[in-house]
Amino acid sequence: MPQIITSEEDPLELSCDALVVGAFEGSDGPQLSTVGVALDERLGGALSEALLAEGFKAKRGTSSLIATLGRVPAGTIAVAGLGAKDAVDPSSVRRAAGAVAKRLSERTEVVAVLDEGYGDAGSAAQVEGYLLGSYRYEKISSRDDTPERTTRVLVHGSAASVERGIAYAEATNRARDLVNDPPDRLTPKAFAARAKNVADIGGLACKILDEVELANGGFGGILAVAAGSAEPPRLVELNYDPPGATGRVTIIGKGVTYDSGGLSIKSAAGMQNMKTDMGGGAAVIGAMSVLAKLGTLVAVRALIPMTENMIGPAAMRVDDVIVHYGGRTTEMNNADAEGRLILADTIALASEEPSDAMVDIATLTGHMVVGLGDKIGGLFANDSDLMDELKAAGDLAGEDLWPMPLYEGYEKHLDSQVADQKSAGKREGGGISAALFIQRFVGTGIPWAHLDIAGPGRADAPHDLGPKGGTGFGTRTLLEWIEARGR
């Protein structure tokens, strides 16, 4: 990951491989930022002429590289498009920084000035975007072909804002690493060990329940999903308890490290990338990893149930009846609707302790992908204030969430003649009935929200803020929400 350094020096006087400046869309061509205008004057108008000749429009996420030919200390000028000036916000800065970072991946000394006029939020977003755009998963290879290169990025901004941007990016990239790890390496046991390592580094308390403790505790949902796998399940609890905490929240992340569909087996194409079905758990671990570094004032309890959903002699069957933690029963009618079963146990456990609010995050249903695509997560909540808080947090984080209804008319889709409920409702409105199922395990009076990130949890192509693969979606939303609660 690039090394971020703050600087108060004049960026035009700094010797570097590339100087990054912003530009806005204009009716007569791109409008350079304040630093860009000063740079253009130093170059005798050559920068603006080059951009016009190239046809650069400064649309969001675009960039242009212009050689300086030794006329200023910087070897190259990287102009990052910020879009329309009146619509620029920290998300625009984050996206621009990420896009230009990908183009400058071979440069070792970069000076970035994209946050002019956007305060600490802009500075944090610039750092965050550059680090997210620079992310690469260290692939497993028989040869070490990773170039030994350290990129130093000098930015203008307060030390606090820069550190915040670094923390948010570190958390997201940690989640991405977990999502991108192959399932033969990130088994439930290994996933739990990674969570323990994060706890040790991040000053968190950690408790891990193994398969024997889960059986003794009556965690029927987790055990049923794990029954077909040779890999035993785990339930991880992480706790962040700052002195003088101003509140307490609970976050829960689905941790299915591989989902074959169980006896309701997926097709070969459907199994592709099912290692990413623990993206919610990864987001929770990523967020927890930096709470102490950020000095967050809210106490946070995190729970991540970890298992595989596989085919085996003891695999759960359609028509089985599961007894969950707390005693509720579920008739299995789709072995590929496993995520809600492990969340049900975990939410029932979480509801036993006081909490100001509870949020679960999961790559839960394909229905959300069909309805919202691969860039937007579904947001369900039983409390309008909590829904507004999370929507605002997602907007600040650049992670779009769309409010969805907990429509009571679909409760009947979960009716069962042999148990308290069925595991899955009808195909139509399936994402809603999944949320309704989970809601049944939330304790009385607890404000609760459910984030279905099945679409944006994984990117099938490179994007401004990273490569193909795990996105870490939801990590920054959780952090924004938790931090806002502590202010």
Catalytic positions are 266, 340
Collapsed DSSP state (helix, strand, coil) of residue 217: helix
Tokens at 228, concatenated: 């077909």
Task: Work out whether the CA dihedral 441, 470, 297, 117 comes out positive or negative.
Answer: negative
Q: Which residue has the tokens 């941790």?
A: 255
DSSP H or E segment with residue 374: none
Q: First vs last Cα of the chain: how many Å apart?
A: 30
**Beta pairing class for 357-362 and 448-452:** parallel
How many angstroms separate the Cα of 137 from the Cα of each of 25, 112, 179, 201? 34, 24, 10, 21
- DSSP characters over 292-354: HHHT--SEEEEEEEEEEE---TT---TT-EEE-TTS-EEE-S-TT--HHHHHHHHHHHHTTS-
77, burial (CB in 10 Å: exposed 0-12, middle 13-18, buried 19+) = buried
Q: Which residues of 159-180 are buried (b: 16+ CB within 10 A; e: fewer)?
A: eebbbbbbbbbbbbbbbbbbbb
- Give 232's DSSP letter: P
Largest CA distance in the chain: 80
Amino acid at site 362: A
Tokens at 75, concatenated: 């070897």
Collapsed DSSP state (helix, strand, coil) of residue 98: helix
